[in-house]
Amino acid sequence: MSDKTYPEPTVGVLIFNPKDEILLLKTDKWKGGYGLPGGHIEMGERAEDAVRREVREETGIKDIKDIKFITWQEMVHDDQFYDKKKHFIFLDYACKTSSSDVTLNDEAQSFVWVNLYDALRLPIHKFAKRTIEEFIRKESRIVSRTR
């Protein structure tokens, strides 16, 4: 048996409600700051299936649709995360839900629905901020191409 450790693949999710607000979770894992719902991809699980499972487990939201890949990021031994020994590969997605009802599990202490630009003014960790900024950048490019 090898005692090597490897990076951990995870998903993060921008969930949009019918008011076009995103869900942010406040958690001690990110030193009390806000972040995106998400978590580890399990062995044999496809990333989009992990999106569905993690959203359901962390928020109680079961009806997500229009799952789209946004970006990927890498976190290596970062001080913003409670366990500085972690090396994550984040696969970040966006999706929609028809509900704003949230039931948190024990990983998050609170939540807020907020528009994208207001989210950037909240105390969010830098990886969530980059995901939001990348989503805004990609969406503005799509809008400008359709005009």
Torsion angle, CA of 32/38/39/44, rounded to 10 degrees?
A: 180
**Rounded to a whole number, what is the largest CA-CA distance in the chain?**
58
Give the start-to-end residue ranges of the domains of the chain. Answer: 8-146
pLDDT in tens, 36-79: 999 999 999 999 999 999 999 999 999 999 999 999 999 887 67
String of DSSP letters for 5-45: ---EEEEEEEEE-TTS-EEEEE-GGGTT-EE-SEEEPPTT-
**CATH class of the domain defined by 8-146:** alpha beta
Among candidate residues 58, 96, 50, 88, the one with its CA nearest the CA of residue 72:
88
pLDDT in tens, 77-116: 767 665 678 788 999 999 999 988 999 888 888 999 999 9
